[in-house]
Every structure is written in structure tokens, then in C-alpha cells.
Chain A
Amino acid sequence: MIIVSLVRYLAGDVLRAGRWVAPGVLFLILTVSGTAVGGTALGGYGFTATALLPIAIWVTITVLNSEDPIQTGITTVAVGSALTVRLTKLAVAFLACQFLTAIGVLWPLLTGHRATASDVLAGLIGHLLSSLAGVAFGGLLSRPLLRAPAWAVIGGIVVFLLEILIPGFPPVRPIAVSFSDVPPTSAELFRTLGQVAAETVIGAVVLIGLAQRLAQRRT
């Protein structure tokens, strides 16, 4: 009950601030333009899942930095746990990213791209993993760890470049490769996705735990 109230309060605060508009619109533009040339839906999903990573970082920083730090103190005392408040903010960011996941997965279908049920399922998993990684990295690039927006932008760009340039770096590079225009068989695709999912979830838990530990030290 308290968690539901906390989610409603935090989500309301983010919505009222309006800072979600820019990353939301940018992802919409990237989705429309990146899937405009036709081809398979799976190829489009490779592009939109990759694009979702930096957007998810941006959304997460927006959510975590939305509440004034002084008000965060009041919220934390009312809830009784800084960990609960921080994890709930990350959950709100992840939920917000799933609106973008819906756009990324549905848009190619609505615009006539060829897709099987397993393509759509793979696309959905790819977007979920990309947004989870974005939320985990975003937690490291926001208050109270990084207060200056300029460092957060630089950090986000560095993370994105590492993700797309280092072979095998989960999740976006292996997802983009396995979703590329010469599709593997479904069995191969989901085997790769399963491995990427395990690596991404473990990595996200480590990053979120690290950010929480560092945040505790800063307060």
C-alpha cells in the first residue's frame, strides 16, 4: 500500500515536471525514422532496442533527479527507508521505459513489417533488457552520486559507446547482432537472448547495489 502510494507520488511528480517529454519524443522519432525503410520487424527491433538504452539512462536520471533532495529527505523519513525510496524511483523509471518498449515493439507491426510471434517475443525481451540496463546505468549517473547534469550526459554517452563498440557487451550489442537482417533460427535467437538476459540481470543487480552503497556514503 505504501509502495503503491510512493509510486503514485513519484510518478505524479515526474509527470508534472514535464521533463519526460524530450526523451519520449526523441525515442518516437528514432523509432519512426529507424524503421522507415521496411524489412523485417526483427531488424527494426535491433535498432530500437539499441536506441532505448541511452533513452532509458536519460529517463532514469530524470526520475531520480526530479524530486528536490530536501524533499527526498522528508519522503525518506515518512517511508522509513532510503533503500525503499531509491528502489521505487528505479522501478518508476523502468515502468516509464515500458511505454517506450510498447512503442518500439508495436510500431513496426503497425507499419506493415514482417514479423512472426517469436520475432515479437524476442523484440519484447530485447527492449526489456535494454531498458533494464539503462535504468541500472542511470542510477549511477544521478543524484546523489552525480549532481552536475554535464557529467551525467558525458557518462551516458560513454556507457552507450562502450555498449555498442565492445563485442559481446550485454545487452545491446549481442541483441543488435542477433536481430540483424540475416536472422538465426528461433532456437539460436532465444539461446542468445537467454544468455544476454542472465548477464544483464546480474549486471543490473550489481550496478544498482553499487549505486546504493555509494549513495549511502554520500549522505
Chain B
Amino acid sequence: MTETEAASLRGVWKRYSRSGGWVLRNVDLVIGAGTVHAVLGGNGDGKSTLLRILAGLSSASKGAARRPRRSVSYVPERLPAALRMTAERYLLQMARLRGPEADLIQARSLNLLERLQLSPGPDVPIIQLSKGNRQKVSLAQAFGFPAVLTVLDEPFSGLDREATAELRAILAETRADGRSVVVGAHHPAALEDADAFHRLTVGRLRPAPASTSPGSLRSGSGPVRSGDRLARIELRAVEATASAALLAELPGVRSVDDEPASGQVVVITSDPDGALRTALSHGWSFVRGDLQLAEAEETW
């Protein structure tokens, strides 16, 4: 690991038993100091396993994983609901595990909770908090400590629009401090500012194409309306006329993830009917779709 490198995975393979299948296959990933990396993948593609290896919670079956031993923060996909203490107490307990500067770390965490607008407040037992508010506590726990590497698994899950914007600001500040962040997510919504995108597909990690960035592909249909539902549609090019750029211009389309190797694209849209109509008449074939992906308000 060099001075400009916060963590790295080199030739990492992972399986959980000798007879089990490979969850990760020959994964290479170098996290530079002061960078934000987005690892995109669907359910079962190995995203959480990769993040757990980066966080030091799981070991690689083959290959080398390097990370700062005592300067990592971690946000799991969800904070347990049944934590038997208030958010304030929890943050103090976690801060004490970091060493002598517990009071300072707890103060930073409480400040982050204010920024993320925890409701009803830090003196309420975590068991009484909603999923989104538990996520805020989890984020405050992670960013209260100035870790060299912060690993986030679906950090935007359950956050409202204001908290999403605040988390993006926190990510930017973390990067400006020279610290690194790896974010695992199903799709690139709210990650426009990431320095690098990676696509994990059935355990294989590849640099995601530039078109993954939703900033460059967002349609001209204006801001997402509250209550819009996003659909995920997979399409396969069957004619030479099939154009990913055309799909990106359709109303309601939020992102188009081009996978040239398979000739497939993944379209995230709030108007699946319109996108499908146009796609099918322009050289695309329908592969599969998830029409109840998420509330647009939650993911953007």
C-alpha cells in the first residue's frame, strides 16, 4: 500500500465454503487517498461481500486485501433495529471503542446527526426509530471518526431528500479531507460526484462505463416528482439500430448502464411503459424488469 493508496484488493477471490460457488472472482480494486468509489451491483452479485472484505470483516479466499487496520469506518446495509440504547448513548459507546478521543468523536457524531436531521432526537431509543433514522445514526457513527477509509453499504437506503443531499455534502467534505470512501449501491442514483464507478456482476468487477454516471445521462424531463416509482429494465440489442444514447434521452429515464460485452443495457426509469415502447421499436429486446424498484423520492 502506497501513501496515495488508502486500500486495495488484488486478485481477490471469495467463497464461503469449499463446495460453494465463488462470490467474488479475481477482483482488482485500488482506492486512492481522497477518492470516492462507487461499486454498483444487483442482489447476489457479491457487493456486500466485497465491502466486508474492504472493511476487514471477511477475509479473501485467494488474493490480497490491504486496508488501514485501525482507521476504517463501516456502515452496514441496515443498523439493527433492536439496539437497546438511545442514539446518543450508542454513539458514545462506539466512540469509546475508537480510543482516547471518545468525547470529540461523539461530539462530531452528534453534530452529524443534527445535519442529517434525526427525528425525533438523539435521546430516543434506537428501537423506536424508523429505518431512515437508524440509517442516519449509522452514518453519524461512521463519519464521526475521521477514518482513512469509510465503507458504506447502500448508505442512501431509506434517507429522505434532505438527508440524501446532506450525505452527499459529507462525502464531498470527506474527500476534501484526503480521506477515502467506498460506496456500494444497486444503482448510481445520488452518486454523481463519485470519482470512479465499478460494476460488480456475478462476482466480477469491471470499471463501469462513463455512461453509468447519471449526471451525463439524466433525461431532460426535469426533477423527479415526489412519489414517482423507478423501474429497472434490462434490454438486449437485437438490431444494429439499437442505441443506448436514444434511451438516455427518453422522458423519465434516470440512467442507462451500457454493458457492451453482453450487448445489454440496464435502464432506470420512472416511465417504464414509454421506455419499453420506444426500445422495442428501435432494435431492443426485453430481457427482464423490476417495476417496483423504489420510491423516487427515497433514491434521489
Residues of A within 8 A of B (CB): 1-2, 5-6, 8-9, 12-13, 16-17, 68, 70-71, 73-82, 216, 218-219
Contact = CB atoms under 8 A, between A and B. Distances in A.
Contacts of A81: 69
Interface in B34-62: 52, 55-59
A113 to B, nearest CB: 40
Given A16-B85, A73-B57, A73-B74, A1 B99 contact: yes
Residue from B52, B77, B84, B100 with most neighbouring chain A CB atoms (10 Å): B84
A213 to B, nearest CB: 12
B16 interface: yes
A219 B58 contact: yes
Interface residues of B, number: 33
A212 B32 CA distance: 32
Contacts of B79: 70-71, 74
A9 B76 contact: no
Contact of B84 (A16, A82, A216, A218): A16
Nearest to A74: B74
A73 B84 contact: no
Interface string B55-90: 111110000000001101110111110111100000
Nearest to A67: B80
A78 B58 contact: no
Given A6-B97, A70-B79, A73-B76, A216 B59 contact: yes
Interface in B184-233: none
A43 B197 CA distance: 70
B288 interface: no
A70 B84 contact: no
Interface of B: 16, 52, 55-59, 69-70, 72-74, 76-80, 82-85, 93-94, 96-100, 102, 138, 141, 145, 151
A2 B77 CA distance: 26
A9 B52 contact: no
Contact of A77 (B16, B55, B93, B102): B55
A70 B58 contact: no
Contact of A82 (B57, B83, B93, B100): B57
A28 B96 CA distance: 35
Given A77-B57, A77-B73, A216-B59, A70 B100 contact: no
Residue from A9, A70, A74 with most neighbouring chain B CB atoms (10 Å): A74
Given A73-B52, A77-B56, A68 B80 contact: yes
Residue from A1, A73, A76 with most neighbouring chain B CB atoms (10 Å): A73
Contact of A76 (B56, B78, B100, B145): B56
